[in-house]
Amino acid sequence: MPSVSDWKVPASVQPKPADYAYDLDAALSAVVAVRAIIPSDAFTADTLGTERAGNGVLIRADGLVLTIGYLVTEAETIWLTLIDGRSVPGTVLAYDQTTGFGLIQALARLDLPALPIGSSSAVSVGERVVVGGAGGRQKSVAARIVAKQEFAGYWEYVVDEAIFTAPSHPNWGGTALIGPRGELIGIGSLQLQEGREQGPPGDINMIVPIDLLQPILDDLMTLGRPNAPPRPWLGLYATAIENRVVVVGLAKDGPAQKADIRTGDVLLSVAGAEVRELAGLYRKVWSLGAAGLEIPMSIYRDGKTIETRIKSGDRSRFLKAPKLH
């Protein structure tokens, strides 16, 4: 992912104030740069790195910043850079594994307007939006919603109705998806390639819809997590290939590795139910109960079908807890 300071969005796709019915510059001033330092021995250090940079959005005047959680997972140091160039320290309040949201509390007064929270369900495919990055219009993209549909990630993650926008923002992590009324309707998570009938594939952004935040926000702020039993976690990375789910990686010392699941294994069924795509696999595992239960699975390996059981884990227990300030 590019750093926050070494690029600018091409002028042709930057948003122009006259195109919007709200104060574009005021809305973009709520987007801050996020820099996180993670210990080298952290669980996610090898996969996500020890220095992470992206964006966050001020959602309350008291310094509460919403971002995408992978930027701040296991962070021991957080710095926020504001639209006026000031840098202030922050601390991680929460990271929700289910939605992917992360919360940061600024540890200094920001004196910036918060971006009001809107409704992601109220916007439609085709609507004009802004994908806002830290640094104002030069770091933001005038975009449109190109799809609203299910997204399943290889790291045991599903969003029922993710938002997809184009053109893509080049520093997508934690960007603010700003809707037609100048309200926050989502947080940038990924860049993906969209297949096209003519020409090469084009880049699009996957956005986590803001409607997933409101039901858990109070819990995240008071408990650091949703007030619900943790989902069972397998610790495997998978992809769908030709209508089959194939293991492409394993979390070190995770439940799947301990159960001798191997890269290249084809996952045939969970608790007797056939699985052929990622979302179906994850939802079946989650439907069986909370973290800690054994997950019966059938796998195909080297020409044989093998019955096995994976004792699931609580993913958060593998992570370093946020440092208290």
Per-residue pLDDT tens over the stretch 139-151? 999 999 999 999 9
- Residue 160 CB: number of other CB atoms within 10 A? 12
Q: 196: pLDDT confidence band, cut at 50, 70 and 90?
A: low
Position 221 pLDDT exceeds 60 = yes
Cα distance between residue 173 and residue 190, in whole Å:
7
Position 4 pLDDT exceeds 50 = no
Position 324 pLDDT exceeds 70 = no
- Apex 201 CA angle, 158 and 134, nearest 5: 65
> What is the rounded average pLDDT of the residues 292-320?
96
Where, residue-wise, is CATH 2.30.42.10 in the chain? 236-316
Where, residue-wise, is CATH 2.40.10.120 in the chain? 3-228
Q: 184: pLDDT confidence band, cut at 50, 70 and 90?
A: very high
Per-residue pLDDT tens over the stretch 135-179? 999 999 999 999 999 999 999 999 999 999 999 999 999 999 999
Q: Say if CB 174 and CB 71 are below 8 A apart.
A: yes
The pLDDT assigned to 1 comes to 39
> What is the rounded average pLDDT of the residues 123-134?
98
Q: Say if CB 182 and CB 29 are below 8 A apart.
A: no
Burial class, 64, CB count within 10 angstroms (exposed 0-12 / middle 13-18 / buried 19+): buried
> What is the rounded average pLDDT of the residues 13-32?
97
Per-residue pLDDT tens over the stretch 98-120? 999 999 999 999 999 999 999 99
The pLDDT assigned to 320 comes to 83
CATH of domain 236-316: 2.30.42.10
The pLDDT assigned to 92 comes to 96
Q: 321: pLDDT confidence band, cut at 50, 70 and 90?
A: confident
**Fold adopted by 3-228:** Thrombin, subunit H (2.40.10)
H runs (alpha helix) in the chain: 24-28, 45-48, 217-223, 255-258, 278-287
Higher pLDDT, 6 or 239: 239
The pLDDT assigned to 190 comes to 97
Phi, psi (deg, nearest 5) at residue 13: -115, 5
What average pLDDT is seen over the chain? 94
> What is the rounded average pLDDT of the residues 31-35?
98
Higher pLDDT, 23 or 6: 23
pTM over 0.75: yes
> What is the rounded average pLDDT of the residues 224-230?
92
**What percent of the chain clears pLDDT 90, i.e. is strictly above it?**
92
Higher pLDDT, 198 or 223: 223
Position 27 pLDDT exceeds 60 = yes
Question: What residue has token string 């956005």?
Answer: 207
